[in-house]
Copies of this chain bind each other. A is one copy, B any other.
Amino acid sequence: MPPTDSSLNITQTKFLLGTAEREMLTGHHGLVVWMTGLSGAGKSSIAVGLDHHLNRQRHLSYILDGDNLRSGLCMDLSFSEQDRSENIRRAGEVAKLMAEAGLIVICALISPFAMDRKKVRESCDKSAVPFMEVFINAPLEVCEQRDPKKLYQRARAGSIPGFTGIDSPYEAPVNPEVELRTDLHSLDDCIRHLAANITKRTALEG
């Protein structure tokens, strides 16, 4: 039975609890923090540091890291353009659910295509889940010099076709909520700046 037919058999289950009641327990709003940027720009490092920083401030956060998802929820997906979009879609859906549960969800995925990121934002908007795009920005030359996972080296050698920044485009955010230049500022400064922005956004009123 194709999905279109089977949608007849689906009845949405309505919860007794709204997000507000869950947030009473966490003490803050849920939020999707979507970090996008080139490989080596510093997404994962900032995610891990931010997660720790927020925990020390008694904010309940969790990291959805692109690499980690690839060995779990998205392990069936390849790196074709279609599967990369599906990868982003799934990460976005999970982030939305976790934010509805009251968490600050730190997403760290290259997510090179503006359209894929836009769809996640729209999906969050539709469910009234706060979403912020964070551009983790460092010039390609810097990222390639850092090359923490030696991926640029291998991509230049032709062994990773379709690598973002080399032979596949990275579409930088035009109007991100936050931009962090990791080549100009220290990791700690980036984390502190982002955390301050997040705690302001997630503060419960009154």
Contacts and interface: CB of A to CB of B under 8 A. Distances in A.
Interface of A: 1-3, 6-7, 9-17, 21-22, 25-26, 44, 47-49, 51-52, 55, 58-60, 62-65, 67-68, 70-73, 75-80, 86, 90, 93-94, 96-98, 100-103, 108, 149, 151, 154, 160-162
A1 B10 CA distance: 35
A48 B14 CA distance: 8
Contacts of A3: 75-78
A25 B27 CA distance: 10
Given A1-B78, A60-B22, A93-B73, A67 B13 contact: yes
Nearest to A45: B13
Contact of A101 (B11, B59, B62, B154): B62
Given A26-B60, A60-B22, A17 B151 contact: no
A69 to B, nearest CB: 9
A6 B79 contact: yes
A16 B48 CA distance: 6
B101 A17 contact: no
Contacts of A151: 9
A16 B71 contact: no
Contacts of A21: 55
Contacts of A7: 70-71
Nearest to A149: B11
5 contacts: A10-B67, A11-B149, A72-B97, A73-B94, A97-B98
A154 B162 CA distance: 48
Contacts of A98: 62, 97-98, 101
Contacts of A77: 3
Contact of A94 (B79, B97, B102): B97
Contact of A55 (B17, B58, B80): B17
